[in-house]
Amino acid sequence: MAVSVVGPFLLTNRLLPLLQKTAKMPGADVRIVTCSSNAPQVFLPKDYPLRFDSPLALAASVSTYPWHWRFFGRFVFASDMILYSVAKAGAEVFASQLQKTFDKSHLPILSLVVHPGPTATEGLLEVNSAFIRAVARLAFQSSEQAASLPLFAATAKRIRQQPEQFKNALLISGGQTINLHPVTSDGKQARGLWDTVDGQLTQYLKADGLAPLQSW
């Protein structure tokens, strides 16, 4: 959650004055691109009990491990894919709530979410089993290829021309979109995660004598 949600939340907030000022300039095209994944749809059951509206959302974000992970998945993958999936669902909540915040303020800033696709990164090849490494080398794209989709999200004219198609959606290969994880439409969970991150960061920054968060 620190990498997928808390870090982007703080970075975006620190850049907020610049983003707001730039968005009001003639011809400006301000976008924020969040890298997510289809992992929540793949690894989390439809009825998985996310607890983004709980104080435990950050400290203990995994509420339970599904049977398919306990009896199969954990022996195949070196990384905790349930934790990863919960974090990526959280990233989608952050991005969708951010878009709502901008829309409410009538700022023409786009908050976009992309799923670059399966990628044979150095980290993946280093930590996983021989089986996963073999699959990745044969079927996954390279890191250089994976970078094309976030670049498309950040620069493509079509996205600015058709913003409603790309807002609150998961951008996938080929410039297509699919639905975000259903938790993004759960007002209680989505607002709960936003408030929890905001509150935890406020406490941390104050304790360390750092500048407080900007008002959204």
What is the C-alpha separation between 39 and 87, in angstroms, rounded? Answer: 10
Residue 216 located in a structural domain: no
Residue 197 in contact with residue 129, Cβ under 8 Å? no
Which segments of the chain does DSSP mark as H helices, in order?
7-23, 39-43, 56-59, 67-68, 74-76, 81-104, 122-127, 130-139, 143-146, 148-155, 157-161, 163-166, 187-207
DSSP letter (8 states) at residue 110: E
The total number of structural domains that make up the chain: 1
**Which domain range does residue 63 map to?**
2-207
Does a structural domain hold residue 58? yes
CATH number of the domain within which 181 lies: 3.40.50
What pLDDT was estimated at residue 5? 97
Determine the average pLDDT of the residues in 132-159. 93
- Domain assignment present for 214: no
Residue indicated by tokens 């408030």: 195
Mean pLDDT confidence for 48-53: 95
Give me the pLDDT at residue 129, please: 82
Query: Does 62 map to a domain?
Result: yes
CA distance 41 to 18: 34
215 in any annotated domain? no
Q: Is residue 7 part of a domain?
A: yes
Share of the chain above pLDDT 70, in %: 100
Q: What does pTM read for this prediction?
A: 0.92
